[in-house]
Structure 1
Amino acid sequence: MTTDRRPDTVELEEVDRQLAAADNNNTDAIVQAVATYEARLAAADEAGDSDRYRGISQAYREQLITALDAATQSNGWAFLNDILNAYHPETGDELPHITTILQNVTSRYIMRTRLADSVEAIPVDALEFFSSILHSLDGEGYEFIVEGMHPYGWGIGHPDHPVAEDIHDHASTDIFVVNPMLEHAFYADQHLAMDLLEEIVRDDSIQVTLSHPTGQISEARSLLDAPAGAVSDFDPTIPRYWEWQKELDYEFELEDDVEQRIRQIVTENGLDSDLPDDWEVCDLTL
């Protein structure tokens, strides 16, 4: 008989009351809910109670994201930025427990802003929030925080923040994080994303070999999964709890010149021998 090891959902009456009040665009209530959630997770973490920690997170993560996203859409960037500053990655030695929620809501703001306006309209503070998290990652742990980094790629091309340089620099540290950030960069601007892909692949200082069910693969083969993911039939699942392609009426279409550049990378790296003769970009999906 298999034991169900999933944590029981933990209900917090104070958070329930605060979230209920936040439904009326009560910004004080949502700020209080964020603070209570952070405090209760911190207490569970300090006590070493992993079941309670997961139970609280399981019960309130999506609710808090939904409430905070709605409040941000109603009250604007300044409201969200105040919360980011209060729980900024640089406020302590460890990342705040609320980080994954703030990543999600900030990602939504960045993506909406870029598609509705321009990359220049994305607040630098939003990108610096992600950059601070990226620089704190060491390739271990932080599973949800790592996946929350994926939409950082949407800031590629910003004139006042070096998103592409950040991603490039991180390629030698953790190619697994770079791959999905690069995929999101393709959604944002496929030409700039292709520039970045070429720069990383042709950077002789980055020589990474990865284990894969098919055998050992190079960083070039790994990163080609990024454009392949963008053209695939699978809808992106990050940010979580949001069908952003549907809400933002977005559809990705790979341009011919970018496809030719992808094919050149495949040829340069001798990767076509493992592909069908009539291979398409989607065949590069790992």
Structure 2
Amino acid sequence: MDTATTDESGETDWTFLRECTDAYPPGVDDHHCSQILANVVARYVIRTRINQGPDAIPEWVVDYLMEITIDADTEWGWESAAAVGWAVGHSDRAVLDRVVDQTDTESEPWAMGILKHVTFADPEAGITLLERLLDSPDTREDLTFLRSLERPLKQDLPNFPQYWEPQTELKYEVSFTNEQMNRLLEVLGDAVHPKRLEKFDDQFAFDLQRAADGYGSAIVDRHTRRKSDGRIPRPSGGGGGQECSRP
């Protein structure tokens, strides 16, 4: 289908793709067609972002991918749709706002998938999205979100969408600057209790001990003030950290 969705000049035929997605929209329980379409559209989102920038991605594509769900469109289609993260920075579609607004305790895996793609596309935006998600009262699995930022440390392009090898056609590199790494540790130190950071330090590629030592005092102070005011401190992650156990 990759060949069918390019015009004679080799450009993406977004008109044809829209006709296909209009014929098989998300949520119609046509799993076979919808998951293939999601996979193909996701590839073009990544290609377009790398070759032309986020504003070259049509607005309707962002809306389409954001509407795909695991229940109606299968896990395969849902995982492909996370490539909407590559549209971060789009002038007319606030991707980060929509992810934060649509994330609750039931949809955290969905947000984590998009967070991974956002970080591949723009590490600074990935840190911003992580910060906003950790600051949300609906977020429970705090350190699990950090897993989404680890993959870009190891490779330049994502493993999804499936059945596509982007490294064979795209020249792209991603890395964290020292300033971005420092900002990430500051975000973690401000959002996650230092004892929790220390506990899971050896399970992450990031220096959680440094985050706890250098930035962790702020959250301790907030917890102390909340207790003195008679308020219940916000919990730091659900399940007592079980989600961070080694696979």
Q: TM-score w.r.t. structure 1 length?
A: 0.63
Q: Say if 1:95 and 1:169 are closer, same or farther in 2 by CA, change over 3 A.
A: farther
Q: Say if 1:249 and 1:99 are closer, same or farther in 2 by CA, change over 3 A.
A: same
Aligned residues of 1:110 and 1:122 also touching (Cα < 8 A): yes
Q: Which residue of 1 aligns with 2:63?
A: 128
Aligned residues of 1:156 and 1:164 also touching (Cα < 8 A): yes
Mapping for residues 166-185 of structure 1, pairs under 5 Å: 166-172=98-104, 173-185=106-118
Aligned residues of 1:231 and 1:282 also touching (Cα < 8 A): no
Q: CA deviation at 1:108?
A: 1.1
Q: Say if 1:282 and 1:117 are closer, same or farther in 2 by CA, change over 3 A.
A: farther
Aligned residues of 1:103 and 1:148 also touching (Cα < 8 A): yes
Aligned residues of 2:35 and 2:73 also touching (Cα < 8 A): no
Identity of aligned residues (%): 27
Q: CA deviation at 1:282?
A: 8.5
Q: Which residue of 1 aligns with 2:159?
A: 237
Aligned residues of 1:231 and 1:253 also touching (Cα < 8 A): yes
Alignment partners' CA distance in 1, 2:96 and 2:161: 20
Alignment partners' CA distance in 1, 2:152 and 2:165: 15
Residue 34 of structure 2 is aligned to residue 103 of structure 1: no
Q: Which residue of 1 aligns with 2:49?
A: 114
Q: Say if 1:200 and 1:74 are closer, same or farther in 2 by CA, change over 3 A.
A: same
- When the two structures are aligned, how many residues end up with a matched partner? 203
Residue 20 of structure 2 is aligned to residue 83 of structure 1: yes
Q: TM-score w.r.t. structure 2 length?
A: 0.72
Q: CA deviation at 1:245?
A: 3.0
Residue 115 of structure 2 is aligned to residue 194 of structure 1: no
Q: Which residue of 2 aligns with 1:18?
A: none
Give the letter for the 1:102 counterpart.
L
- Flag structure 2 segments of 5+ consecutive residues without an equivalent: 209-243
Output one character per residue of 1:29-86: Cα deviation in whole Å (capped at 9) or x when no partner. xxxxxxxxxxxxxxxxxxxxxxxxxxxxxxxxxxxxxxx1111133521121211111
Q: Which residue of 2 aligns with 1:260?
A: 182
Mapping for residues 152-231 of structure 1, pairs under 5 Å: 152-172=84-104, 173-203=106-136, 205-208=137-140, 219-231=141-153
Mapping for residues 41-52 of structure 1, pairs under 5 Å: none
Question: Whose radius of gyration is greater, 1 or 2?
Answer: 1
Q: Say if 1:125 and 1:233 are closer, same or farther in 2 by CA, change over 3 A.
A: closer
Aligned residues of 1:156 and 1:192 also touching (Cα < 8 A): yes
Give the letter for the 1:87 counterpart.
Y
Q: CA deviation at 1:251?
A: 2.0
Q: Which residue of 2 aligns with 1:273?
A: 198
Q: CA deviation at 1:255?
A: 1.7
Q: Secondary structure at the match of 1:97?
A: helix
Q: CA deviation at 1:171?
A: 2.4
Mean Cα displacement is larger for which, 102-111 or 268-277?
268-277
Q: CA RMSD in A?
A: 2.8
Give the letter for the 2:153 counterpart.
V
Alignment partners' CA distance in 1, 2:25 and 2:73: 19
Alignment partners' CA distance in 2, 1:202 and 1:96: 35
Q: Which residue of 1 aligns with 2:81?
A: 149
Alignment partners' CA distance in 2, 1:128 and 1:267: 34
Larger RCO (CA within 8 A; separation ≥ 6): 2
Alignment partners' CA distance in 2, 1:157 and 1:77: 20
